[in-house]
Amino acid sequence: MSNSQYETDETDETYKTYKTYERYERYYGEYGGPSPHPHPRPSPAQRSEASAYGGFDVHSARTLAAYGVYAAPGEYEDTYRPAYEMSEAPLPRQAGSVAGEYAPTLEYAPTLVERTVTDRRAPRRRKARYAERADSRVRRLLPRALVVVFLAGGTTAFVAKDKAVELSVDDKPRTLHTFADDVTELLAEEGVTVGPHDMVAPAPGTALAGGDQVAVRHGRPVHLTLDGQRREVWTTAHTVEEALEQMGVRVEGAHLSTPRSRRIGREGLALNVRTERAVTIMADGRARTVRTNAATVREAVEQAGITLNGQDTTSVPPGSFPRDGQTVTVLRITDSKEVQEKPIPFEVRRTDDASLYKGTEVVERPGRPGLRRITYALRSVNGVRQKPRREKSEVVREPRDELVKVGTKPRPRSVHDVDRLNWKGLAACESGGRPNAVDSSGTYGGLYQFDNRTWHSLGGRGRPQDASAAEQTFRAKKLYLRRGASPWPHCGARLHK
């Protein structure tokens, strides 16, 4: 805008300001010289402070000090006030200031006399000085304007980073404003801690934009016993039914230890699940297939309508867990007992006897066998008898040892040496004293019950029972010389009585 505009349009506010400012420049340039203290535009804080004291009052020393005008106490009233009051125009404004805000830049106020003298300067000189001063002010204000523009741009960027997102933690949604760049920063701002078993969607580290939805579900431990198998699983489901769906467990026809609608807390719970299975039961020659969620084989057999009586059992332990597709056979068992008695053999105890000829043995006390009673358990499975099982054994009677005397005396050399033996007692014991006696089998005959082979080896002829009693006694004495009393194990002891 040219100076001619200021000169011709006296109603323009800029003209009034210029006119007054030009008068001030005369005083300042004439008497004060260049200002050693540049006076920048006041900050918003300075303007606010000035407003607190009633606006930018040029008559206030506090306001002047805020704008860089330094005057001693009383100097303002004595020097500047009269000069200002004589002016009909307001003080000049700095570029960009609010209308009505005064921005004096002088360090001291000229006196009335100085102002009058300076007023006579040429208009051209005044316009040149004002143009130079205006350029200087523009150069000073340009960096500040750039700072204002930068701050305005920073504020716009700051506002642009604010975004509204929806955060749902365990199905409890809420809408919030955040400056977080990604999901991880958002969860940290909200104090939401996630562990390895928790679910976050979208995944941590995902960039956020306005309107995004972030869902967090915390993991819950479930101590699951599924069809007899125990294990610990983690789930983000809130109910038992949702958890079983996540684990892929078929719940149709299954037995659950807790209702499906029960909520699962953060502490978790223990859950026992028995799914429905197909089990085939073989019993009494018939096969029955049932679908069951029984906990034991015995329960499955009872659900098939089969009763186990007495010792009846199954091919697998009745208390075991029935598996899907398993075949169980019912075993009909019949138990019985059997008692047997068995003899216990006795022992023979021999002692030497010098009164008896060598080769002669005399039974002093016959032995007696003992008796043992054994009880066996017999079992029949589906009509088939099993191997007997020894259940109990007891001794009914103890055996008695047999005592035998064995002769050590040298044998006689002829039959005459044995004449003094009790041959009549031997004959009475063997045949009752009858020379023609024959045993029931027809093998042994005579007084001393010879068999035919022994009789012939002693020189006898025919049958022993057909010979005379004297010949039979003679042959018996010869036999005694050979073998002693051993041919007559039961009656030989009579010879020495």
Question: Residue 150 contacts by C-beta under 8 Å, 6 or more apart in sequence?
Answer: none
Give me the percent of the chain exceeding a pLDDT of 70: 68
Instruction: Tell me if the domain spanning 220-274 has CATH number 3.10.20.30.
Output: yes
pLDDT for residue 8 is more than 80: no
Q: Tokens 């830049």 label which residue?
A: 105
Query: Quick one: pLDDT band at residue 262, thresholds 50, 70, 90?
Result: very high
According to CATH, the topology of domain 411-496 is Lysozyme (1.10.530)
Sketch the domain layout of the chain as residue ranges. 3-146, 164-217, 220-274, 277-330, 336-404, 411-496
| CA pair distance 192, 215, nearest whole angstrom | 11
Q: Superfamily assignment of 336-404 in CATH?
A: Resuscitation-promoting factor rpfb. (2.20.230.10)
What is residue 143's predicted lDDT score, i.e. its pLDDT? 56
Cα distances (angstroms) measured from residue 245 to each of 170, 228, 239: 18, 19, 10
pLDDT for residue 497 is more than 60: yes
| CA pair distance 316, 309, nearest whole angstrom | 16
Mean pLDDT in residue range 247-263: 88
Backbone region of residue 285 per phi and psi (left: phi > 0; alpha: psi in -120 to 50; beta: other values): left
Instruction: For residue 72, count other CB atoms closer than 10 A to its CB.
Output: 10
Q: Smallest Cα–Cα separation from 115: which of 73, 84, 76?
A: 84
What is residue 456's predicted lDDT score, i.e. its pLDDT? 93
What is residue 134's predicted lDDT score, i.e. its pLDDT? 54
Cβ atoms of 200 and 216 within 8 Å: the answer is yes
Q: Smallest Cα–Cα separation from 27: which of 118, 142, 154?
A: 118
pTM of the model: 0.40
Query: Do the first three CATH levels of 164-217 and 220-274 match, i.e. the same topology?
Result: yes
Query: Quick one: pLDDT band at residue 88, thresholds 50, 70, 90?
Result: very low
Query: Quick one: pLDDT band at residue 133, thresholds 50, 70, 90?
Result: low
Higher-pLDDT residue of 413 and 229 is 229
pLDDT (tens digit per residue) in 188-222 = 998 998 888 898 999 998 999 988 999 999 989 99
State in Å, rounded, how far the first CA of the chain is from the last one.
181
pLDDT (tens digit per residue) in 396-413 = 999 999 999 888 888 777
Query: Quick one: pLDDT band at residue 416, thresholds 50, 70, 90?
Result: confident
Summary mean pLDDT of the chain = 76
What is residue 155's predicted lDDT score, i.e. its pLDDT? 46
Peptide bond into 202 cis (omega under 30): yes
| CA pair distance 232, 46, nearest whole angstrom | 69
pLDDT (tens digit per residue) in 482-493 = 888 888 988 988
> How is residue 465 annotated by DSSP?
G
Mean pLDDT in residue range 276-301: 92
| CA pair distance 269, 266, nearest whole angstrom | 9
Cβ atoms of 267 and 292 within 8 Å: the answer is no
pLDDT for residue 98 is more than 50: no
Tell me the one-letter amino acid at 491: C
For 164-217, CATH number out of 3.30.70, 3.80.10, 3.30.428, 3.10.20 equals 3.10.20
Mean pLDDT in residue range 17-45: 45
Among 305-314, 466-475, 481-490, where is mean pLDDT lowest? 481-490
